[in-house]
Amino acid sequence: MATFSGFTDSDFSSQIDGVYWRGRDALGGLLAAALNDSFGSDFSSWAVSRRTELHIARQSRYSFENASPHAKLFVYTPPNEVAFGFYVEKADHPIDRQWDWARFLANLETDPIARAALLGAMRNHRLTLTDYYNQDGGGALGRRMVFWQGKLCWQRPQQDPLSVTVDDLVRLLAGLDDNTWCDLHLFTTIAKPDAIALGDHIVDRILAVLHSLVPVYEAAVAPSRG
């Protein structure tokens, strides 16, 4: 049975030796089992090779050997925080049906369930949507999307937030050229000291966000309903 008593200081190191939280007998297994209880029996977890990262996805819609084309839920421990949410990638070359990116865009454009799930998760959990690994400069998007003063907004570096719609997001994502890679993440973070202090209670915090994001994830792996 999977068990997890909370994060420790060593879990935030770039070295993965001795880092056990990602395992199916630890946090990875707990999260996948909880999602299966709510959404069916196909969710599993994978510890990313040589990185303090955990992916959760439907087994039928994920490849450990080639994870990039596939959408996933995730938990990361960069040096100063725990980050968790939803992740879908766009390659820097023309993509085929193997990639979930095009399916995600099609469903986000036409499916009211997917749109409502994205907005609800962002509003209820104060999530950020951006090109995660290049977020300081805005990455491929040149900005991040957040809820600010009750409105969905673009937030550019050194500029005031600008009210936008999901249609604006779809147009931005669809307008990225074939040579642009985008690591689109919808996520939140907990600072390292707070994450450690939460102990095993952090599981509930992470699960609340991942649970709300499963419909967004499904929009990337299910056929278009529009």
Domain region containing 87 = 9-122+179-221
Asked whether residue 214 is assigned to any structural domain, the reply reads yes
Could you tell me if residue 195 is inside a domain? yes
For 79-195, list the strands marked E by DSSP.
81-90, 128-131, 144-148, 151-155, 162-163, 182-191
| In-domain check, residue 114 | yes
* CA–CA separation, 220 and 213 (whole Å): 11
Within a domain: 148: no
Q: 99 in a domain, yes or no?
A: yes
Judge contact between 186 and 217, C-beta under 8 A: no
pLDDT along the chain (226 residues), means of 10: 92 80 95 95 92 94 94 95 98 90 94 94 96 89 92 89 94 94 98 97 98 96 66
Structural domains of the chain, count: 1
Q: What is the pLDDT of residue 136?
A: 81
Q: Specify if 82 maps to a domain.
A: yes
Rg, Å, the chain Cα set: 17
| pTM for the whole structure | 0.95
Looking up tokens 């649970």 gives 211
Classify residue 138: in a domain, yes or no. no
Does residue 98 lie in a domain region? yes
pLDDT confidence of residue 154:
94
Sequence letter at residue 117: A
